[in-house]
Amino acid sequence: MANLIRSDFYKLFRTKAFYFCGIIAALLSSLGVILLNSAINSELGISASLLGYDGVYALITGTGQATLFVTIMISMFVPNEFSFGTIKNIASKGISRWNIYLSKVIMSMFISVAYVLLCAIVSFAIGSFMWGTGDLTREVYLNIFKMLGLFLVAEVAVQSIFVMVGFIVRQTGGTVAVNLAIIIAVPVVVIPALNFGVQSLLKVEDFDSSNYWPFTYLSRYLSLDVIQEDVTVGLIVCLVFIILSTALGIFSLYKRDVK
Amino acid sequence: MIVGLNNPTSGSIELFGSNNLQEGRRKIGTVIENPALYPYLSARQNIEAQRIMKGVKDKSITDDLLDIVGLKDAGNKKAKNFSLGMKQRLAIALALVGDPEFLLLDEPINGLDPTGIRDIRELILKLNREAGITILISSHILGELAKIATSYGVINNGVLVDQFTAEELKQKVKPCLKITVNDPERAVAILKDYLEISDIELENNSIKIYEMLDKSVEINSALESNDIIVQFFSKEDSDYENYFIKLMEGGAKNG
């Protein structure tokens, strides 16, 4: 298992897309902060720092840019083993499919952490450069770590779904398409349909299915004052999704022949 | 199924005399269908990734393997820029990581040009002779197999139809004179007595003579002078394809 993970890291660090996606994610998170600063300057004619904007605010807004690029990277890295046929080189060497799958889950976690931290650091640096760091008390530091920790849990939960899709679809193009469809279709179609169904048929008026969808917590956790209910429910939802999607992915890998 | 890519529906597998398949599979190198490589990695990096995955500590094997498969000068070239023959050789190098005792090559010469076929053939023979690796080749290109194989197993629709050695195969497909006559048993006796032919057999009322292939006139006149009516007389060359097709048809009928 350790050798397989080391081999996956070796391949990842030699994948140009890993660096390319990272650079684009960092640029976009910086650009968001720069554009916000320009908009405030031109609209109000004052520095954004006077309105309370600081490096911590930039960090919060910039971190969210990571998700799309983590998704793209994982949508390529996982099914590439099937597209290139190299999964046969791994599966035929006496390595269990359980280990093959878990290695990719660990890679997805690493990519998530790398991109999230990169976006957070770059946007904080740019924001601090333009607006100052803000009041970095011990409490603020703790809240930033808490926010990044929660966000990473949500990110890993979301990416565990994409890893599962990669192992089921087994084609790079197909995986990207399905994952993008999940990102777009679930909040627009599935969640409203579920809400309507449960609210009208089961008469549960305050039901909101988005509370049980890990993507929701990507945005809810990007705050320094997340409410405790969201922390508890969100962590349970994310954990359930991580376990369920991993179990389904491993089941699919065991049940189907490797080609 | 041997290397765990397909799930068996029933039965059991033993590798190297043991039911511990995980352990057995570590001793097997494989190239299955198309060469499976990371196109964005160089030849050297492809081997390195495999070396790390197999937990081989000795880093020098990467260059050794490139040398063995004749890709030493192309070690830094990306696999996506390789010809099919080079990809196939690199795939064999990957299969050799970890010193396998057994190499399983599935269609290793498919799609290769004559030079590529010769290179792979020579590489396979070298690995067998110099490294002592047992190699199982699955192929439909029978003429090529005949140049390297020492033992054959013929599988049709998942059923092992026949097994034989290269010597036995040569015997089965060696050129012969095929004669159909009105009284085959007596004809065989005559040919043995008059012309002293010993390498002769009777098969489905046809006589097959594996010697005196250039003496068809003498054979014909010996039969006719003994009132044997020759209905069909032809010379048949070594035909592996024909032999295997017949074997398959037999297997299909039996199956």
pLDDT in tens, A8-47: 999 999 999 999 999 999 999 889 888 887 888 777 777 7
In chain A the first and final C-alpha atoms are separated, in Å, by: 21
B174: left (phi over 0), alpha (psi -120 to 50) or beta: beta
pLDDT in tens, A221-251: 888 888 888 889 999 999 999 999 999 999 9
Q: How many CB atoms lie within 10 A of CB A228?
A: 7
This prediction has a pTM of: 0.78
Contact between chains at A84 and B39 (C-beta distance less than 8 A) = yes
Structure tokens at B232: 């069909």
Report how far apart, in Å, the C-alpha atoms of A45 and of each of A39, A40, A128, B57, B107 are: 9, 7, 20, 63, 72
What residues of chain B, 4 to 23, have a C-beta less than 8 Å from chain A?
4-7, 21-23
Tell me which chain A residues have a C-beta less than 8 angstroms from the C-beta of B58.
none
Alpha-carbon distance of A184 to A188, in angstroms, equals 7
Per-residue pLDDT at A241? 93
Per-residue pLDDT at B148? 83
Alpha-carbon distance of A156 to B120, in angstroms, equals 45
Domains of chain B (ranges; CATH) run 21-149 (3.40.50.300), 175-237 (3.30.70)
CA–centroid distance for A257 within its chain: 29
Q: In angstroms, what separates the C-alpha of B35 from chain A's closest C-alpha?
A: 8
- The reply to whether B180 touches chain A by the CB within 8 Å rule is no
**What is chain B's length?**
255
**What is chain A's length?**
259
Alpha-carbon distance of A66 to A119, in angstroms, equals 6
Nearest chain B residue (CA) to A259? B5
Contact between chains at B54 and A93 (C-beta distance less than 8 A) = yes
DSSP, residue by residue, A70-117 = HHHHHHHHHHHHHHSSTHHHHHTTT--HHHHHHHHHHHHHHHHHHHHH
Nearest chain A residue (CA) to B32? A88
DSSP, residue by residue, B173-201 = HS-EEEEEES-HHHHHHHHHHHS---SEE
ipTM, two decimals, is 0.79
Alpha-carbon distance of A228 to A68, in angstroms, equals 27
Contact between chains at B55 and A3 (C-beta distance less than 8 A) = yes
pLDDT band at B34 (very low <50, low <70, confident <90, very high): confident
Residue B164 contacts residue B213 (beta carbons within 8 Å) = no
Report phi then psi at B101, rounded to 5: -85, -20
Contact between chains at B26 and A93 (C-beta distance less than 8 A) = yes
Beta bridge pairs of residue B18: B15
Exposed, middle or buried: residue B39 (CB in 10 Å: 0-12, 13-18, 19+)? middle
Q: Please, how many CA atoms are within 13 Å of residue A102, restricted to the half-sphere of its CB?
A: 10
Residue B189 contacts residue B195 (beta carbons within 8 Å) = no
Please state the domain extents for chain A.
2-255
Mutation for testing the A interface, residue in B44, B52, B136 having most A CBs under 10 Å: B52
pLDDT in tens, A158-208: 999 999 999 999 888 888 889 888 888 888 888 888 888 888 887 777 888
